[in-house]
Amino acid sequence: MITIPEMLARNARMYPDDCALVELKPSQDFRREITWKEFDDKANQVANALLDMEVTKGDKVIHWMMNSIDWLIVYFGILRSGAWVVPLNFRFTSQDLKYCADISEASVMVIGEEFIERVDAVKQQLQHVRKYVAWGGELPGYMTKFSEMIQGYTAEQPGIAIRDEDSCSLYFTSGTTGAPKPILLTHNNLKCAAITENVHHHQQKEDNFILIPPLYHAGSKMHWFGSLIVGGRATLINEVSPRNILEAVHKERGTIVWLLVPWAYDILVALEKGQINQEDYDLSCWRLMHIGAQPVPPSLVRQWKTIFPSMQYDTNYGLSEATGPGCVHLGIENMRKVGAIGQPGFNWEAKIVDDRGNVLAAGKIGELAVKGDGVMQEYYKNPEKTSEAIREGWLYTGDMATKDEEGFIFLIDRKKDVIISGGENIYPVEVEDTLHNLPKVYDVACIGIPDARLGEIAVAIIDTKPGDHLTETEVLEFCKQNMARHKVPRKVIFDKVPRNPTGKIEKPVLREKYAHFKPG
């Protein structure tokens, strides 16, 4: 089986003049598209330019850009050169950059103009970087313009031998639980993601994947890899809003959209409030909506299917350490099991284990472990953490889960997020799922805060829908009617729920913010 870079080359040979990528910036009335041959040629130019900079196989290249067609061109060019691509979170600070550059020992950095000031602030501290390439007009003297970087370089393939087992990507986690962890992936890992995704969602060349989430994350583009493997195109939206998403589907004839929970809620709220009208768009082409990256409230799926009854739906569970999505998924044929994250994905295994690694029976809560070709190579330069996470080929996810008699897995919560209050375990996701059934709730998070008597107490942070009003009494009465007494939050706080760019609730931020909160 060919590698991800070769999938691009094959598409260029088979479909040279077909559209590969479209990029939209609605506020600027901007639309750009390139063919598979143009995509492949430009990736080769990037690879050949890097090789001329004396980048050799196994060198690291930091890749810090906002979503764009150029993001993907650079990504494939780095892979094709044999170097490791090191994509960075666009929220990272200058100090985050230094941390990632020190660990990766990157020799080259390719950045978007948005990050020039952040690079400039720590440039003197970056010991290993010897070449900087950037987009923009006025650049610092030590930076080279991207257009000049590739100018004059051949579009011929560079001829670097790439094997499945070769390391190729160093992904840093988003850092919501502390310092970002470097996750090393191989070409075989990336290929696994493409095959798994294609099998799960039956992607064909005719599909158009609306690509919205951050490309630096081991998530959305891995979903699109399922289209890449068959020559299916992608449409990138740089400005996320319900209107822009529906217009992209309508105008570009999008067939697959992977959403984060907040974006799905935004669409439902906008429709409910009359901010957009479904009748204004022809969405008949939209065959599949799927969600991953964080727990999905069943109430959200039910509401979505009420509005879009004929649309296919899937829940995807994954993590960067498993090359993104797909190690567990619900399956478009299993709507009756909404609420579960599903069953082991194609060519994956999964088990629920206790603290000693013993497999638990159905109905018991334990840690979810998965095994398959997508399991990362290692936490880079951290053998201790690697040995904790990977044991006998099994990746221990840190997620608490249970499974039913049919083998469907239900996510309970992150192991570290479990609240122990007076000796009772409270799983925040259960509280959040219940509160999402309150019609006026837009978003909700449940955290534990210190309590002298009980150790911890559960607190619900609720963001109401625009124009709606809730009281703490209403919320607590609803909780008492719909959950066990010990799970009812001791306090309700009305505030925004912070989420990172991949949709995960930033619970460490909330715990720090309310660490000294005293319930009245």
Average pLDDT over every residue of 201-222: 92
> Residue 451 burial by CB count (10 A; 0-12/13-18/19+): exposed, middle or buried?
middle
Considering the domain boundaries, does residue 502 fall inside one? yes
pLDDT of residue 324: 86
CA distance 147 to 137: 11
Q: With respect to residue 167, please indicate whether it lies within any of the assigned structural domains.
A: yes
pLDDT of 208 strictly over 50: yes
Who has greater pLDDT, 280 or 413? Answer: 280
Domain boundary among 186, 207, 238: 186
**Mean pLDDT, residues 387-406 taken together:** 94
Q: What is the DSSP letter of 340?
A: B
Which pLDDT does position 184 carry in this prediction? 98
Give the pLDDT score at 45.
Answer: 97
Q: With bands split at pLDDT 50, 70 and 90, how would you rate the model's confidence at 176?
A: very low
How far is the C-alpha of 462 from the C-alpha of 478, rounded, in Å?
A: 13
Between residues 519 and 17, which one has the greater pLDDT?
17
- Which range, of 36-40, 231-235, 376-380, 473-477, averages the lowest pLDDT? 473-477
Mark out the alpha helices in 180-286 (DSSP H runs): 187-201, 220-228, 242-252, 261-272
Query: Does 80 reside within a domain?
Result: yes
Residue 1 pLDDT: 59
**Looking at residue 458, which CATH number applies to its domain?**
3.30.300.30
Categorize the per-residue pLDDT at 292 as very low, low, confident or very high, splitting at 50, 70 and 90. Answer: confident
Contact 200, 192 (CB under 8 A): no
pLDDT digits (tens, 9 = 90+) for 468-478: 999 999 999 99
Residue appearing with tokens 């393939």: 157
Other beta carbons within 10 angstroms of residue 314's beta carbon come to 21
pLDDT value of position 508 = 82
Q: Confidence band (pLDDT; 50, 70, 90) for 178?
A: low
Residue 3 structure tokens: 């590698």
Predicted confidence at residue 145, as pLDDT, reads 94
Whether the per-residue pLDDT at 483 is higher than 70: the answer is yes
296 vs 272, higher pLDDT: 272
Residue 354 lies in a domain: no
Produce one character per residue of 235-247: b if its CB has 16 or more CB atoms within 10 Å, e if not: bbbbeebbbbbbb
Please check whether residue 48 lies inside any domain of the structure: yes
Predicted local distance difference test score (pLDDT) of residue 423: 66
pLDDT at 309 over 90: yes
Q: By the 8 A CB rule, do 24 and 40 touch?
A: no
Distance from C-alpha of 483 to C-alpha of 492, rounded to nearest angstrom: 15
User: Does residue 237 sit within a domain?
Assistant: no
Spatial CA neighbour of 409 closest among 334, 317, 342, 326: 342
**pLDDT more than 90, % of the chain:** 72
The strand order across the sheet containing 491-494 reads 441-451, 455-464, 491-494
Per-residue confidence (pLDDT) for residue 505, from 0 to 100: 84
The domain containing residue 48 runs over which residues? 36-186
Confidence check: pLDDT of 241 > 50: yes
DSSP codes of every residue in 466-487: TT----HHHHHHHHHHHS-GGG
Tell me the one-letter amino acid at 314: D
Average pLDDT estimate for 106-126: 96
Checking if the pLDDT of 72 tops 70, the result is yes
Give the C-alpha separation, 325 to 196, whole Å.
Answer: 9
What pLDDT score does 507 carry? 83
| Whether 300 contacts 307, CB under 8 Å | no
Check whether 187 has a pLDDT greater than 50. yes
What is the token pair recorded at 60?
Answer: 């690291």
Question: For residue 80, what is the enclosing H or E element?
Answer: helix 69-81
CATH number of the domain enclosing 135: 3.40.50.12780
What is the rounded (10 degree) CA torsion for 447, 450, 454, 460? -30
Q: Which of 46-55, 174-183, 337-346 has the lowest mean pLDDT?
A: 174-183
Mean pLDDT within 305-314 = 96
| Over residues 495-501, mean pLDDT | 86
pLDDT-derived band at 329, boundaries 50, 70, 90: very high
Question: Does 396 fall in a domain?
Answer: no
* CA 69 to centroid of chain Cα atoms: 18
Q: To 5 degrees, how large is the angle CA 223–CA 87–CA 325? A: 25
- Which of 132, 152, 186 finishes a domain? 186
Q: Identify the pLDDT of residue 519.
A: 62
**By mean pLDDT, which of 40-44, 55-59, 135-139, 230-234 is the weakest?**
135-139
Q: Is the pLDDT of residue 454 over 60?
A: yes
Q: Say which residues have a Cβ less than 8 Å from residue 471's Cβ, sequence separation at least 6.
A: none
Mean pLDDT across the chain: 92
Which of these three, 152, 186, 220, is where a domain ends?
186
Domain count along the chain = 2
Kindly report the number of other CB atoms within 10 A of residue 493's CB atom. 17
Residue 239 forms part of a structural domain? no
- Lowest-confidence region among 180-184, 226-230, 357-361, 409-413: 409-413
pLDDT surpassing 50 at residue 177: no
Q: Which pLDDT score is estimated for 175?
A: 47
